[in-house]
Structure 1
Amino acid sequence: MLLGYVAYGFRNGLSRSAFTIAGIIAGIIAAFFLAPLIAGLVPVPFLHLGVTVVVAIGFVALGHALGSAIGRFIRRGILSSPLSGIDRVLGAVVTGVVAALVASMVSFSVSQLGVPVLSRAIAGSTFLRIVNTLTPDPVEAFLAQVRGAVVDKGIPLFTGAVEGTPTIPQIDTGSGALNQAAQSVVRITGNAYACGVSQSGSGFVVYQDRVVTNAHVVAGVTDPVIETLAGQSITGTVVYFDPVDDLAVIAAPGLEAPALPLASTLDAGTDAAVEGYPYGGPFTSGAANIISVTRPAVPDIYSDTRNQREVYTLAADIREGNSGGPLLTLDGSVAGVVFARSSDRADVGYAMTMLELEPVTNQAAGLTETVSTGSCIRD
């Protein structure tokens, strides 16, 4: 595919290709941000995914047509000039580079739809894997963050008493232990067709092919997609779903990531790490500090009732997409699971302690029957 675009750029030259590329990029940007919003206007939620795809294709096709028309007009004056050869070479180089970046952007957008067949196709593409490897993480993170601001993936907001000024510690988030743990931290995507929304969160392996995440990440989702840092993509089934304590377990047969070791509940003042996929984007490992361990009354995922839950208050940067990710000790053991961020402080988040998590992990190995994931969560 990439060679085809290089040949296209050489044949048409930079002058025409540049406008065509600009048109395609403009169409992709419009689709990236506007297609989900336009689909949201459709009164039938089940149709949202199809409308999103159709609108996205329409934006890209329109951008290509307009850009190509402008480029064709501009290039007429260059064909007969001495610059024609240089124009062709530059066209090939620039078109190839931009095509690779566009492929990375499109693959990221498609993977966020939570459609198993598409996610598996992207994960299995050698070309896209190479392109994504070469795309700088800051670029992917920026795209994910900007899109997240327009199409909110959602994470529960919680307000708890925080004394003093939280300080996110300086730790080595790239240590050998945390890098090894990262291999068992997964991205989870899925489509809640009844609400017409795509959902994204994080999770971690607790027993062979069993993954723990938050219940709100998979609420209303029947076929969650599990993606590992190594590039494996598997469609799982939910075998445990607790909307009150916001915990779920996904069975993912064939998952190759090893189970993470479990630690005890950490004391206040302890440094830790939060790993996951904020905004559904590239994997991140961030520092955290335990401000306190308390038992507040926490709403269930539908905000219908409140129940006491043992919770860490964290000094940490928690974002949409971190939901369901692990709170790790510095040696890479699980000490909790992230479930919310502060409603009024950007540097405060919340995670459940092992008192809440351990009863679920203890039974994970024996969970085999698919269970209902309840209703999807409407904004």
Structure 2
Amino acid sequence: MEDNNKFIDSNHEEQQQPTKTEHNQEHSMSWRSQPRYIDVGPSSQLQSEPYRKKRTSGKSVFSAFMAGAIVVGSLMFVSDKMDLFSGGSHPLAAGTPVASVTGSNNGGVKTASVSDMAGTNTIASISKQASPAVVKIETKEKAKSTKGSTIYDDPFFRQFFGGGGMQQQPSQQEDQSGELQPAGIGSGFIFEKTGYILTNEHVIDGADEIDVYVQGSDEPYKAKLLGNSYDLDLAVLKIEGSDFPTLPIGNSDNAEVGEWVVAIGNPYDFDYTVTAGLLSAKGRPISISDTKGTRNYKNLIQTDAAINPGNSGGPLLNMDGEVIGINTAVNSEAQGIGFAIPTSTISSVLEQLKNNVAIPKEPSPYIGVSLQNLSQDMLNDLKIDSTEGALVADVQRKTPAFEAGIRPYDVIVAVNGSKVATTTELTKKVQAAKVGDKLTLTVIRDGSKQDIVVKVGDKNTSSDTNK
């Protein structure tokens, strides 16, 4: 690439003029950032051709006239078929967003807005209709002299934002007076006119007081937490009142990759911020851990709509103005990678959250061992000749692995005949199994291989928290 594309840095003192060949290569290789030019012939031939004055004959005039008539006629036919001059709009392709002209004619000036040709709503109209139902949530906590570590304390997990990313940690000099102090900022939306609000659990986690700001109201409403789920990262709040603006909850299963979506929230306390982008992918799994455990999101919507700390709990809307997800997390180390909990997950538990009914935990496959990756200095002691596999560091009593006969210092090298090279690979295979399945683990113990059958258990029914 360096030989064919020799660009001189703008700070270089001496710049050489490119040859004609290099000039053509430069145009052909940089067309993404510059207008693309198409040569009609070798420039040297064009420049060297002498100018000759030619006679104009009757035949030449007639030929030119006929050529012009054909061109004009063709243009008129194309413009009529495509309705280029009638003000109508035509989609480039089904569902392709284009600029549609809207508004009244004020001296020939009209406003343009991006719209989805599959529907009639514009992003501007969706924002206008939806924003009144989007709320800002501020949480407060009682002051403490010390505060335990949270998700915000780990730099790795700061790439996923929690309660607005505006967390303020009390200083060591604070007393035990119990004074409320700001804890975080997030978003939510009203889904029933009597004041029911849906948001993320991590937005209100640990809050002693929840203030909800509704558009058009100067004073916040005091919200009551009705129900919440740590595992699903969902919570329902209630504020007193009636006839609040609401947002309809749509079906995320009907949304397709490549569709336009709109996010509304309060990033970094910038109230009612609207961003738009594409639905980038569906069914994304991520895991986020904190001092309370690990949230394993399994079916998230991925979008490139700008999402930032404070957007948590806010709605992700389709072009019909329906909520198809709740904005939940973003990878700050990347651009355009945000995640939302789909309404397919929300709808199945919404009534339980409203009525504070416990939501049964989804079965979590486990066998009950602690694992460690192998290193070169372990090979002699374990009588193995490769670092591929997973070392069993510990086995909890009364777990599936213990009952099957797995012991510390066993090296698991295969599951159902399929090799595993690391602890991560082994963990994924266990988690991919169903509770009650039987797995044949190939282990090396004291230099000898043997197969041990383990029945997969449910971690949620056990006090054990290991794999």
TM-score, normalisation: structure 2:
0.40
Structure with more relative contact order (C-alpha pairs < 8 Å, separation 6 or more): 1
Q: By percentage of residues, which structure has more strand?
A: 2
Which structure has the bigger radius of gyration? Answer: 2
Q: By percentage of residues, which structure has more helix?
A: 1
